[in-house]
Amino acid sequence: MNILKIFTLLIVILSVSCNIEFTKDFEIASADHENKLVINSHFIKGDSIIEVYLKSSKAVAQQAIQPELINPYVIIEFADGIERQLIYNDSTELYELSLENVQITAGDQIKLEAGAENFDVVFSSQIVPQEVNLLSAELEANAYYDIILDPWDKLTIELNEDNENDNFYAISLSHLGFRFARDSIASEWKSRIFPVLGNMYRGGFDRHVVFSDSDFNGLEIEIPFRTIFPKDSEGQLKSIRSEVILESITEERYLYLKSLAFVWQAEDNPFVDNFDLSQNIENGYGYFTISNVDRIELN
């Protein structure tokens, strides 16, 4: 009988203790971080304006304040050697420069400089990548949103590049409502089960797949992925216009998008190793990148 009582007591303690939530929260100690300027800027050759986002970094602390910038400036120097200062747009909160009278050619070096009071001046530069032409594109849209068993969409593109450099690319589709399926099951299945050809990653904004010349032999490539094409009430695909957008990007953009995909992947998972975000801003954080683009309409 005594043993039975002991057993019962043990079971109760075990059950109760397993149901207690045991987490502990701590305030993050005072910010052990020196604020630096953050640049976000990507433009495509052929754009009419260039936009630069400029802010300060912020410490991860309970009530860390993001410092206001005093006397900030952004200057870009193009291949003609002229430094042009960007103007701040209150509505977009971006620094902008019109490119109407600016000639940009593949191979040009474009430099950026930005600063503010009490911050180190930051620098970056990019070489405008060579053009790459899309010769053809064909899409098989078979996937549905949340049925794991269904096959994936398949996009086949043919491209032509006639330089000997090691090129980098980002590819995306453009249509209303397009995005990659980003539910966690789909992303896990995608990376773990389906072969992703070479170093292909879904980069930022759920729009791109990035890859490089070294990832495929020849000029034909298959990219398995999921899209959500709009359907009517009977589940039939609606007729839509869609374009394949192929960007020829710099290596810095390739590394940034590639690392960004892993940062997104790791950020909610305490069991995944930390990934360093690839950045190309000297004395600061963020990215300044350029691409060339070609488009082809899908039927």
Partner 1 sequence: MKSYIIIIFSSLFGASLLGQVKYTISGYVMEEGSQEKLADVTIFDQLSKNGTYTNEHGFFSLSLDQDSINLFVSSIGYQDYYFEINLKRDTSITVYLKFSTELETIEVKESREVPLVNQTQSGKISIALDQVKSAPALLGEVDILKVVQLLPGVQAGLEGLNGFHVRGGSNDQNLILLDGIPIYNSSHLLGLFSTFNADVVKYMSLYKSGFPARYGGRISSILDVRLKDGNMENYHGKISLALLSSKLHLEGPIKKEKSSFLVSIRRSYYDIFANTYLKIVEDEVQKINFNFYDINAKYQQMINDKNRIFGSIYVGNDIFGFAIQQPDSEIFTAIKWNNKIASIRWNKEISAKFFSNISANFSDYNFENNISSTSLDTTETSTFATNYQSRIQELSAKMHFDFVPNPNHYIKFGANLTRYSFKPGTISIINDKTSSKIDTTLGASQEISPELSLYIEDELSVGKLKAHIGLHYSAFFTGKTYSLLQPRVSLNYKLMDRISAKLSLSRMQQYVSLLSNETISLPSDIWIPSTQKLDPLNSWQYTLGLATSFKGIDFSIDVFYKKMNNVNSYKDGSSLFIDIQIPWEDKITQGEGESYGIEFFMQKKIGNSTGWFGYTLSRNWRRFDEINKGIKYPYKYDRRNSIQAVWSHQFSKKFSTSATWVYGTGNAVTLPNYIIEVSNGRDIFIADSRNNYRMSPYHRLDIGCEFKKQKKRSVRIWSLSVYNAYFRINPYFIEIVNWNNGYRIRETGILPIIPNASLSYEF
Residues found near partner 1 in the complex (CB under 8 A): 3, 6-7, 9-11, 13-14, 17-18, 20, 22-28, 31-33, 38, 40-42, 53, 55, 57-64, 142, 148-149, 151, 191-199, 204-205, 258-260, 262-263, 267, 270-277, 285-286
Nearest approach, Cβ of residue 221 and partner 1 (Å): 13
Tell me whether residue 134 or residue 245 sits nearer to partner 1 (CB atom). Answer: 245
CB of 140 within 8 A of CB of 153? Answer: yes
Nearest approach, Cβ of residue 262 and partner 1 (Å): 5
Nearest approach, Cβ of residue 116 and partner 1 (Å): 15
Tell me whether residue 83 or residue 188 sits nearer to partner 1 (CB atom). Answer: 188
Under the phi-then-psi rule, with left for phi > 0, alpha for psi from -120 to 50, and beta for the rest, what region is 13?
alpha
Tell me whether residue 18 or residue 82 sits nearer to partner 1 (CB atom). Answer: 18
Token pair, residue 116, equals 């503010």
Nearest approach, Cβ of residue 137 and partner 1 (Å): 21
- Pairing label, strands 153-160, 109-115: unpaired
Nearest C-alpha neighbor of 68 from the set 53, 88, 89, 54: 54
Spell out the residues 6+ positions from residue 203 whose beta carbon is closer than 8 angstroms to its own: 170, 209, 210, 256, 257, 258, 260, 261
Tell me whether residue 73 or residue 262 sits nearer to partner 1 (CB atom). Answer: 262
Tell me whether residue 41 or residue 280 sits nearer to partner 1 (CB atom). Answer: 41
Nearest approach, Cβ of residue 238 and partner 1 (Å): 22
Spell out the residues 6+ positions from residue 237 whose beta carbon is closer than 8 angstroms to its own: 141, 229, 230, 231
Token pair, residue 96, equals 């902008």
Nearest approach, Cβ of residue 55 and partner 1 (Å): 6
Angstrom distance (rounded) from CA 141 to CA 229: 8
Tell me whether residue 134 or residue 257 sits nearer to partner 1 (CB atom). Answer: 257
